[in-house]
Structure 1
Amino acid sequence: MSEPSILFFEVNERQGVFHRRAFLMGGLAGVGLLALGGRLAQLQLIEAQRYQKLSAGNQFNYRLMPPPRGLILDRNGTPLASNRPNFRLMVIKDKGMDVEATLDDLSKLVPIDGSRRARLIKDIKRAPRKAPVAIMEDMSWEEFSRVNIRAPELPNVTADMGEVRVYPFGGAFAHVIGYVAKVSDRDLLAAEKDPTQDQDLLHHPGFRIGKQGVEKAFDTELRGRAGATKAEVDAQGRVVRLDPEGDIRPTPGKEIRLTLDADIQNRALEVMGEESGAIVVMDIRNGDLLCMASAPSFDANRFVRGLSGPEYKALSEYERKPLLDKSMTGTYPPGSTFKPTVALAALSAGVNPEVRVNCSGGWYYGGRTWRCWEKRGHGAQNMHDAIKNSCDIYFYQTALRIGPDAIAKAARAVGFGEIFDIGIPGQRRGIVPDRAWKKKAFKDPRNQIWFPGESPSYGIGQGALNVNALQLAVMTARLANGKKALVPRLIKSVGGVEQPSGAAVPDLPFSAEHLDYVREGMAAVSAAGGTAYANSQLGLGDIQMAGKTGTAQVRSFDKGVSRNSKDVRWRLKDHNLFVAFAPYDEPRYAVSVIIEHGGLGGGTAGAPRAREVMRVALLKDPEIRARIEKPMPMPDAPPEAAIEGAAPEDPVIGAPPPVAPQGPHI
């Protein structure tokens, strides 16, 4: 019987299956080993640097370092806004942190009152994890030392030195420069929509943002670029030691230089004393603003640290409004300082300046008597005399003759009703009324007509007319320049880049003869017999100032009521104004002064202050100072005139002169 062949076939088949499986498994293992080896090669050779950085990142951490804010300087390089060291105390929020216990420990080292404690608890709870929260700014050296000595016992607490904004002149430049303050929730919400904003920097407790004036308008340029400090941390993220060699230095913000002069600005605020108002000084040659003082002011350094509720309330509710920039935001009737503009309008309209108007102290028109400030009257006045004496009757009748549109056209040409691009916000346009304005201003058709009785008040700078101190300075500078429609310039340079001059502008739409005539009238105001003569003498040799006084009513005066506001409440007194330029024969500087509710007579409060500020501007000008210090020439004496005290002639050799016979001795 033969052996079955099926057994042999089964063995071969099983052996083939085993070989196929072995090859398959070996192939899979080989592919796995190859992939593993490739991944190891990638990690150790190709991506070694990346993982070294990740490893170092677990060991080292970078803490954001705010950049030093850019300096703000005056035209001569005097710092108006700078930075100083600041010892500050911060708490870094962490998971499981006992806020109450931490503040209890800190209150033993630094003063933390109840209201401040409640605010700090709220700030710490709202802060993101690992975010530092400022507990105290401007610590003393003793407080800073106490915290650092106890630092090992105070987890999540750090005391370091940063920088804080400081304004060396306090309130002198507060309205122009503004101030910086903590980033508010509103600021953060607005920054979320701006991809150019550094969100980490905005959340840093030591960072401040511009809130007003130059600080706000040029906040981006002043910020700079943030840096970082390198620190070794443990597994919990706590700092073990610092590594100064690995720090990334921040880039300071750009330097901004203004056209203002610190000496002139400080003198302006000094002479304002307790009065409320503004003083603006402008260079007639190029439009540079040398002074933009608003009084009363406030200390911008207090806003950097943060005002309490009662402090801010006291500032905001004070009737003289220290938070309002009266140099460009406050608007006032210009009063008689507007008369040179009316004179230009009349000359442009073809009015003969030599035609005289009789001023008897009153003028009856439209069913009422229009009064002149001089109750006795000025007599017969031509245009020159009317500017010199500030005759109201002359300008009542002149304004009625030429109409509101001609006056408004001249007013806009000299700068009224205009907002100037000086780099900072806050200007108010004011009102230059004319027939078109009245149609837009009133809804009732009966009030949209310009009534003839409105023109006389317009002619003396009253009625609906409203201007600011900056516009008054521009008007004066354009009249004094005599050619260019100058525009003011406040920002001299940004990051070393010079800004355009205010003299690169078109010419004024007035003839040179008309401008000369008006300037001669303004010179007469400050000359003997003029309304500002007593208080406008500079005392600087032969240098004279030309100007114009002004008084603007804030209330109506009934018949028989005296306008003397000596015993009247402050807010009911008239505004006191004065504009001027000097030197008259070679104009350099223009000044405008507004004394809010200063009382009757622009020459009594405005002119003395304009004189003092103008003196500083002139004495700081090297050319003007050389002119002042130049000795005056001696008068020529006749050749044969006997000069008392002169040396006798040399003795003459010869016979003695004959002796005149003498009478009897008595």
Structure 2
Amino acid sequence: MAEPSIFFEEVNERQGVFHRRAFVLGGFAGLGLVALGGRLAQLQLVETQRYEKLSASNQFNFKLMPPPRGLIVDRNGVVLASNRPNFRLLVARDKGIDVPGTLKTLANFVPLDDARQARLTRDINSAPKRAPVEVMEDMTWEQFSAINLRNPELPGVTADMGEVRVYPHGGAFAHVVGYVAKVNKTDITETGPNSEPIMLNPGFRIGKQGVEKAFDLDLRGKPGARKVEVDANGREVRADPEGDIPAVPGKEIKLTIDADVQLRAEQVFGEESGAAVMMDCRTGDILCMFSGPSFDANRFVRGLTGPEYRALAEYERKPLFNKALTATYPPGSTFKTLVALSALEHGYDPHTVHVCNKAWPWGGRVWHCDEAHGAQDLKGAIATSCDIYFYQVGLFLGPDKIAETARKFGLGEIFDIGIPGQKSGLVPDTAYKRRTFKKDPVWHPGETPSMAIGQGYTHLNPLQLCVQAARIANGQKALHPRLIRSIGGVEQKSGAAWGDLPVDKQHLAFVREAMAAVTTVGTAAAVADLGLGPNIKMAGKTGTAQAYSYGGGRGAHGAVGQWKLRDHAWFIAYAPIEEPRYAISVLVEHGGFGAQAAAPRAREIMRVALLKDPELRARIEKPLPLPAAPTGPESGDIVPDLPDQPLDPNSQPGLPAGTPTA
């Protein structure tokens, strides 16, 4: 009987299947173990440093620290904007913190009324978790110490010391230097430098006006970081100073401004409204750019209240308005210098005589002058500021020729001085009339006489008139004003590197002679003496510009009547006459006559600049000869008189009254 073979075949088949499955599963398990071992090796050997850093980051945090803002200094290194310590109180929202209760406790140590507590509660609750919100700054040392002593009892509360911007000279430089203020929502962008996390730091401020705004990125620097150890909830346990990352301070901005000259301008203006701009006639450097009345920039750093801001904004003399750059005015008789130059450039005979009888009938109306000057030639008409003479010179030229010459001297131009806010003003011509007045595009002959005396459509700012005076005084270079001398030690382009003036030098010399006559025998003779001896004299041109038409009794000629209806007072000048160093333009808004209101102020500002110039001061302070030594037995008892003391730039005479009009 044969054995059943099927039994052994089934067993062998089952055993084969088992061995194959065991081999496959063992292979998978082996691969898994190899992969696991490889991954462990990678984590523990290859990526050790990375995970050590990740582990440390759970233990340590870095808190961004604002960098010291760069200094702003004048041409001599006098600080115009710097930083000072600032004790701050911060509160951050965190788990388990009763924000209203915490603020009520803090009110025992610092002044926090109920309204302020309610507003701070909203701000803290709406801020990101553990993001500090500034509750108070400029705490006293006593307040700072009291809160720090109780810090363990006040979770989420921090009293630290930061820096805040300070302007040592208050309002004298406010329109030039500007100010910084806290970051608001509109300042933050999605990209660029204003998207960086430091913008959210409660102590961080950015430039809002003037140099502070124009060079904000240079002044900011680069933020640093403070290393601190934290617990599992992210709360600070202790500081680790060795791991701090130092901040990079902002760059220093050096201006061409001279602090002494600017401060003198602030003194002589007092509460008057207007502007003064002074330039170096050789380099184009701006020594003074004052606008008054001004405001204290330090108040803007902390933040103005609503009533404080409204008081500044609604004051009729507009302290927030930069009258040196942004405001434009009719230039009045200061414009006659360029009308005369334009006439000479186009073949006008300067010996031509016109008679001024105080009234001149032409074109169906009577044109007036302040005085009956009699027979005048061109030089005499500039010296006496005769309107009737220049009415006729203007008709000889026409508006286009006058405008062409005026633009060569910077009028109607916006200069790149580094800060925003300039208005170009207007030097009109026939093309302007066609562009602007669609219903009446023709330039009428009766519009030219007004333009010839700096009235009508012509509107300019004090910076442009200072450039005009500086270019006339230089006689060679088409000077451009320069306000920024260096950024981080890098010198900026000189204002003299802009080419030559495209006018005849002899014609410029004639205008300079006429401007010298203005201050010696003309309208400013009584107020333009600098008092610095016979070698230091000033040349200039007065101007009185109508703010309103006198028709219907609306305008006020001179310093009479309602302030806002009075004429504007102008004076442009340069000194010394023989070797011009400095040019100036002064505007007294609604000040009346230029000779009475603007020229005396220009004189006082010019004196400071001249007395600070070492070469000119040496000429002024020539020592007097010593008296002869006495002889005789009693000579030892004789004391010779001392020579006159040097002139003190701070002891200035008052502004004279009853001076001639412009």
Letter in 1 for 2:543: G
The correspondence for 1:347, drawn from 344, 349, 370, is 344
- Helix, strand or coil at the partner of 2:454: coil
The whole-number CA distance in structure 2 between the counterparts of 1:264 and 1:562 is 34
Partner residue in 1 for 2:450: 457
User: Normalized against structure 1, the TM-score is what?
Assistant: 0.92
Does 1:113 pair with 2:113? yes
| Structure 2 residue aligned with 1:281 | 278
Tell me whether 1:539 sits opposite 2:536 in the alignment: no
Choose the corresponding residue for 1:618, options 607, 610, 631.
Answer: 610
Deviations 1:55-96 (A, max 9, x none): 111110110111111111111111111111111111123346
Instruction: Say yes or no: does 1:505 pair with 2:498.
Output: yes
SS in 2 for 1:13: helix
Which residue does the alignment assign to 1:383?
Answer: 378
Q: Residues 76-475 of structure 1: matches in 2 within 5 Å? A: 76-95=76-95, 97-188=97-188, 191-192=189-190, 194-374=191-371, 377-444=372-439, 447-475=440-468
Q: CA deviation at 1:646?
A: 11
Q: Distance in 2 between matches of 1:161 and 1:257?
A: 28
Provide the rounded CA distance (Å) in 2 between the counterparts of 1:645 and 1:207.
70
**What is the identity, as a one-letter code, of the residue corresponding to 2:111?**
P
Secondary structure, aligned partner of 1:278? strand
- Tell me what 1:662 maps to: none
**Contact 2:575/2:582 (<8 A) preserved:** yes
Q: Where does residue 663 of structure 1 map in the other structure?
A: none
- Whichever residue aligns with residue 417 of structure 2, its letter is I
1:478-512 deviation line (CA, Å, top 9, x unaligned): 00000111110001111111110010112112111
The CA deviation string for residues 530-568 of structure 1, in whole angstroms up to 9 with x for no partner, is 211111111112200000111111122249999555551
Deviates more, 1:5-14 or 1:475-484: 5-14
The structural deviation recorded for 1:402 is 1.1
Whichever residue aligns with residue 592 of structure 1, its letter is: S
For residue 458 of structure 1, report the CA deviation from its aligned partner. Answer: 1.0
Distance, in Å, in 2 between the alignment partners of 1:567 and 1:273 is: 19
Residue 639 of structure 2 is matched in structure 1 by none
Shift in CA distance, 277/160, structure 1 to aligned 2, threshold 3 Å: same
Letter in 2 for 1:612: E
Distance 2:51 2:60 in 1: 14
Question: Cα–Cα, structure 1 residues 278 and 562, in superposed 2: closer, same or farther, change >3 Å?
Answer: closer
Query: Counterparts of 1:563 and 1:569 in 2: how far apart (Å)?
Result: 7
Say whether the 8 Å CA contact 2:547–2:555 is kept in structure 1.
Answer: no
Classify 1:438/1:332 alpha carbon distance in 2 versus 1 (closer, same or farther; 3 Å): same
Query: Which stretch has the larger CA shift, 56-65 or 101-110?
Result: 101-110
Amino acid at match of 2:284: G
**Most deviating of 470-479 and 8-17:** 8-17
Once the two structures are TM-superposed, the CA of residue 118 in structure 1 deviates from its matched residue by 3.5
| Residue aligning to 1:658 | none
Letter paired with 2:309: Y
Q: Which amino acid aligns with 1:620?
A: K
- Matched to 2:500, the amino acid is D
2:246 aligns to what SS in structure 1? coil
- In structure 1, what is the equivalent of residue 25 of structure 2? 25
The Cα of 1:301 is off from its aligned counterpart by 0.7
> Judging changes above 3 Å, is the alpha-carbon distance between structure 1 residues 566 and 547 closer, same or farther for their aligned structure 2 residues?
closer
User: Which residues in structure 2 correspond to 1:1-16 (within 5 Å)?
Assistant: 1-16=1-16
Which shifted more, 122-131 or 283-292? 122-131
Task: Evaluate the alpha carbon distance shift between residue 560 and residue 208 of structure 1 in structure 2; reply closer, same or farther with a 3 A threshold.
Answer: closer
Query: Using the alignment, how far apart are the partners of 1:647 and 1:35 within structure 2?
Result: 117
1:478 is the counterpart of 2:471: yes
Cα shift readout 1:258-304 (whole Å, capped 9, x = no counterpart): 11011111111111011000000000001000000000000111111
Query: Where do residues 626-641 of structure 1 align in structure 2 (5 Å cutoff)?
Result: 626-631=618-623
Q: Give the C-alpha shift of residue 364 in structure 1.
A: 0.8
Deviates more, 1:469-478 or 1:95-104: 95-104
Contact 2:357 2:373 in 1 (8 A): yes
- Structure 1 residue ranges (4+ consecutive) displaced by more than 4 angstroms after TM superposition: 558-567, 631-634, 644-648
Q: Give the Cα separation in 1 of the matches to 2:466 and 2:396.
A: 27
User: CA shift at 1:462, angstroms?
Assistant: 0.8
Q: 1:421-456 CA distances to partner (integer Å, 9 max, x unpaired)?
A: 101110001011111111111121xx2111111111
Secondary structure of the 2:572 match is strand
Give the 5 Å matches for 1:515-530.
515-527=508-520, 529-530=521-522
Moved more, 545-554 or 129-138: 129-138
Residues 32-56 of structure 1 show CA distances to partners (whole Å, capped at 9, x for unaligned) of 2111111111111011111111111
1:569 and 2:580 correspond: no
Q: Say which SS state the counterpart of residue 465 (structure 1) adopts.
A: coil
8 A Cα contact 2:65 2:224, kept in partner: yes
AA matched with 1:585: E
In our comparison, the structure showing a higher alpha carbon Rg is 1
| C-alpha distance in structure 2 between counterparts of 1:561 and 1:244, whole Å | 71
2:446 is matched by which residue type in structure 1? G
Change (3 A) 1:561 1:60: closer
Alpha-carbon spacing, 1:566–1:404, altered in 2? closer, same or farther (3 Å): closer
Distance 1:48 1:562 in 2: 85
Q: Aligned partners of 2:105, 2:233: CA distance in 1, in Å?
A: 22
CA distance in 1, matches of 2:119, 2:77: 40
The farther-off stretch of 587-596 and 563-572 is: 563-572
Q: Where does 1:593-608 land on structure 2 (aligned, <5 Å)?
A: 593-599=586-592, 601-608=593-600
CA distance in structure 1 between the partners assigned to 2:139 and 2:179 by the alignment = 21
Contact kept, 8 Å, 2:466 with 2:572, in 1: the verdict is yes
* Unmatched 5+ stretches in structure 2: 633-662
Residues 490 and 17 of structure 1: CA distance in aligned 2, closer, same or farther (over 3 Å): same
Identity %: 65
Query: What's the RMSD between the two structures over aligned residues?
Result: 2.0
CA–CA distance in structure 2, aligned partners of residues 589 and 505 of structure 1: 18
What do residues 148-195 of structure 1 show as CA deviations (whole Å, max 9, x unaligned)?
11111111111111111111111111101111111111111xx21x33
Deviations 1:332-371 (A, max 9, x none): 1111111101110111111100111111111111222111
